[in-house]
Structure 1
Amino acid sequence: MAKISRWWPGGLFLFILGLPSGAMAELSRMDDTDLAGVSGQGGIYLSGDISINELGGPIQNSYFGACGDEGKKCGARLAYRLKEDGGWFVLDDIRGSFSFEGLTLRVRHIDSGFGGDGELFNRDVVELGLPNVVRYHDVHFTVAASNTARPTDAGFQQTDLFSIEMQGDVTLEGNLLVFPTDSP
């Protein structure tokens, strides 16, 4: 028998015929009274494996290079200016990987609790359900201060404050609630 290596119209027909009869059930409309008796739960359940510059980023210059190059930074860089005319807060040399299972995201209504403030609030919030375990593998980053945003800018000077390396499992429990604020 010949091996079929691509879809062909007859193959789709045979696939549909092979479905169990329940898979071909017809959808029907529900009126409002029937729908009122249905309850459900909404939300998102996420699992992931995220890697950041494990071998170094795509930029090769006097500052960035491969992770094996002595004296070069190989990870990502984020710079934040805290004041309009101030210096820069920097997360530098960010690299490694982490994985998690069971991060949840849903909308929750708060109308009680919080020392009586929940009743006054009476609105929806975003609830992030923290995953039970986050696994870190060779995660590394440096916290620093800099006079410019980019290491290639003229007069660049950076002071590394401390470096963090993480390996292993971290247990997270609970939820993080994100409360909306009214914009001015």
Structure 2
Amino acid sequence: MSTRYSQAALVVIAMSVATQAVAELDRLKDEDLAEVSGQGGIYLSGDISINEMGGPIENSYFGGCDDPDKKCGARLAYRLKSDGGWMVLDEIQGNFAFEGLTLRVRSVNSGFGGDGELFNRDVMEIGLPDIVRYNDVRFKIAGSNRPRPTDAGFRQTDILAVEMQGDVIMEGNLLVFPAGNP
């Protein structure tokens, strides 16, 4: 059989199989739907780049990554107490990718195997991805008296400089508990 005829035969076979595979969608009755179970949640994958070429702001503090007199990258400042100082992640830049981060609501109705009080409420469960890939990720952990470097009297003490490259294997879940009374 020639190649042209074999290709035509494959097309005819594929079309006949496809027409037989067409199915019609039907509504489920309430009693049939009651027997269907599933799980809710979100499955996320991502590839995130942060300030690979430097931040978009250039002023007396921030600038291009090639300028040694300026800070390069994103900044995240958070206050733990209303009258306390600021914890800072500064000069954040790089790329990280992950697959399989999950988010779902989970009901906790036990005393955590005897380690805590009974807790009969829902919590947010963050399922950690199996592997996170880091590519030239850098940031500094610091303490500061003001959230912004351009604020008057700003002082910052860098505590730790972090550089990450490669794969990190993550396992387990992180539970986020609601604050306050139900």
Class of the TM-score when normalised by the shorter of the 2 chains:
0.7 to 0.9
Q: Which TM-score applies when normalising by structure 1?
A: 0.77
> CA 1:26 to 1:60, structure 2 compared with 1: closer, same or farther past 3 Å?
same
Q: Of the candidates 128, 137, 149, which is equivalent to residue 135 of structure 2?
A: 137
Q: Of the candidates 28, 31, 35, which is equivalent to residue 29 of structure 2?
A: 31
Q: How many pairs does the alignment contain?
A: 165
> CA 1:73 to 1:22, structure 2 compared with 1: closer, same or farther past 3 Å?
farther
> Take 1:159 and 1:119, find their aligned partners in 2: how far apart are those partners?
39
1:94 has 2:122 as partner: no
Letter in 1 for 2:80: L
Tell me the percent identity.
73
In the TM superposition, what whole-angstrom CA distance separates every residue of 1:71-127 from its partner, at most 9, and x where no partner exists? 211111122233444432221111111100111112223334622689943433222
SS of the equivalent of 2:148 reads: coil
Contact kept? 2:111, 2:118, Cα under 8 Å: no
In the TM superposition, what whole-angstrom CA distance separates every residue of 1:111-144 from its partner, at most 9, and x where no partner exists? 3462268994343322211111101111111112
Q: Which TM-score applies when normalising by structure 2?
A: 0.77
In the TM superposition, what whole-angstrom CA distance separates every residue of 1:45-88 from its partner, at most 9, and x where no partner exists? 11100111111111111211111111211111122233444432
> Take 1:125 and 1:82, find their aligned partners in 2: how far apart are those partners?
22
Letter in 1 for 2:54: G
In the TM superposition, what whole-angstrom CA distance separates every residue of 1:16-52 from its partner, at most 9, and x where no partner exists? xxxx558974433322211122122322111100111
SS of the equivalent of 2:107 reads: strand
Letter in 2 for 1:176: L
Runs of 4+ more than 6 Å apart? none
Letter in 2 for 1:121: F
Contact kept? 1:111, 1:118, Cα under 8 Å: no
